[in-house]
Amino acid sequence: MSTIHISAAPGDFADVVLMPGDPLRARYIAERFLEEPREVTAVRNMLGFTGHYQGQRVSVMGHGMGIPSISIYATELIRHYGVRVLVRVGSCGALRPEVDLNDVIVALAAGTDSRVNRVRFLEHDFPAVADFNLARRAMEIAERRGQTVRAGSVFSSDLFYMPDVALLHATLVRMGMLAIEMEVAGLYGVAAEQGARALALLSVADHLPTGRALSSADRETSFHTMMEIALELAAVEAAAMAPR
Ligand SMILES: O=P(O)(O)O[C@H]1O[C@H](CO)[C@@H](O)[C@H]1O
Ligand SMILES: O=c1cc[nH]c(=O)[nH]1
């Protein structure tokens, strides 16, 4: 049975789903990296595909922009399609001078100005953290591939265009955050609520202290590093979950 927002048939999704915000990035990942990718959903053009990577069944699906959007897709994938691992592969803006364009961030935890986790957690402060084993495996994969990644906390904002941005950025930097984006805290809340595991990998597309930003061509290259780490992680996880 399909859902309101996903038209795939039962069993169409793999246990592990990579999720970029942009559905066209989902198609790019599927066509560029997956063997025999098959489109499994396209409701509202939020494209989803399933194929194979390193011999393991892996899916990739866009989640749109913002916590409300990713919350819908993540919840339906877990509840209705039995997805067990979600890995966001997103872009972000670096908050600190030393976090450069093209760097890949493993988002260990996320703060947010969204209320969604308070809604699900009796108005208390929910610790929006990554699954430890996914984070550790992602770090190990990056190390084995000789790719430097940064691990730390990020901030998920509801607004892309926000007022008083200087004060917010200064506070986030003072509190140790590496980057800003718009979904991770929501994804980690959904995963906890629905009993799944989640991790976000982020590629730095904007350098907020200097205003530098990647060109489209550069974005593609840097995203490749993140995608390859995420795909290898997905294959390792799928193999670990496969019945023996
Ligand atoms: O590139 P994605 O994965 O969409 O991530 C970032 O880009 C969008 C804003 O431009 C937000 O979704 C933000 O989190
Ligand atoms: O949410 C985002 C994504 C990329 N760059 C930003 O500054 N913010």
204 inside domain: yes
**For the chain, where are the E strands, in sequence order?**
16-19, 35-41, 48-53, 56-61, 85-94, 104-112, 149-156, 179-181, 197-207, 212-213
182 is written with which tokens? 């718009």
Ligand 2 touching residue 91 (CB < 6 A): yes
1 inside domain: no
Helix, strand, or coil here: 191?
helix
15 is a catalytic site residue: no
3 inside domain: no
Q: Which H or E element spans position 190?
A: helix 184-194
199 inside domain: yes
Structural domain of 177: 16-241
Is the confidence at residue 62, as pLDDT, over 80? yes
Percent of the chain scoring above 90 in pLDDT = 93
Cβ count within 10 A of residue 97: 11
Identify the CATH number of the domain in which residue 80 sits. Answer: 3.40.50.1580
> What pLDDT was estimated at residue 215?
84
Contact 104, 147 (CB under 8 A): yes
5 inside domain: no
> What pLDDT was estimated at residue 244?
66
Contact 21, 65 (CB under 8 A): yes
Ligand 1 atom with the shortest distance to the CA of 160: 9
225 inside domain: yes
> What pLDDT was estimated at residue 164?
87
> What pLDDT was estimated at residue 218?
73
115 inside domain: yes
pLDDT in tens, 200-214: 999 999 999 999 999
Q: Which of 24, 35, 82, 88 is nearest to 58 (CA)?
A: 35
Mutate to test the pocket of ligand 2, among 92, 99, 114, 169 (most ligand atoms within 8 A of CB): 92
For the question of an ipTM over 0.90, the answer is: yes
pLDDT in tens, 3-32: 999 999 999 999 999 999 999 999 999 999
100 inside domain: yes
Q: How confident is the model at residue 222 (pLDDT cuts 50, 70, 90)?
A: low
Q: Which ligand has the nearest atom to the CA of 23? A: 1
pTM value surpassing 0.90: yes
Mutate to test the pocket of ligand 2, among 158, 182, 212, 226 (most ligand atoms within 8 A of CB): 182
Q: How many domains does the chain have?
A: 1
Q: Which ligand has the nearest atom to the CA of 18? A: 1
Ligand 1 centroid–CA 91 distance in Å is: 5
